[in-house]
Amino acid sequence: MSGARRRPGTAVRSATTQPSPTRLWGWHRLRPEWAEQLVSAAGLGPGDLVLDLGAGDGALTAPLAATGAQVLAVELHPQRLARLRERFADHPRVHVLGLDLLDPRLPARRFHVVANPPWSLAKPLIRSLTDARSRLIGAQLVLQRGLVADFDRRGAAGPGARARFRAEYAASVPRQAFRPSPPGPAAVLQLTARRGR
């Protein structure tokens, strides 16, 4: 790097420097009381199939399993995936999957989603969930408040998605509901399949 000029006061960033895990993976863990509220609002029970997308350490996975539903907990981050597998290794209704959230392989049967996914993946994730082939019944997604308000005004994203799904601003979620706190407020986006699907 000799001969390279930089402005005074600017740091040289090493090629090995990585963003913090929070920025890289967009993870803000829901506190237990908020996770319980979100799961309760979903109204799940035995016989339901529910996806926890971006399951993290299982903050939503555990209360989802307590409803009696079958839970597919999806996580890609290697350390969190390992902890999740260890925590739910003997649970008969929890299956932990190490998959990318944007993997297009959704369940062939009807399913629900209750998740606190990385906010940076929200738009492509919603497009995938509301695709014409999706068997999604309903979703409760914790996302950036501005994005949820936008979906509430405009409807679900993607070709024909508005005809298939209703998108609603279901609840506000304060920054204090997370560890660590996100940079801005959050809200719950509720997606509901329209009748006839």
The residues near 137 (Cβ < 8 Å, ≥ 6 apart) are 110, 111, 112, 192, 193
The 8-class DSSP code of residue 14 comes to: P
| CA–CA separation, 186 and 126 (whole Å) | 16
Question: Is 168 annotated as a binding-site member?
Answer: no
Question: Is 9 annotated as a binding-site member?
Answer: no
Question: Is 54 annotated as a binding-site member?
Answer: yes
The residues near 113 (Cβ < 8 Å, ≥ 6 apart) are 50, 51, 52, 53, 129, 136, 138, 139, 140, 141, 191
| CA–CA separation, 103 and 155 (whole Å) | 23
Question: Is 57 annotated as a binding-site member?
Answer: no
Task: Enumerate the known binding-site residues for S-adenosyl-L-methionine.
Answer: 54, 75, 100, 116
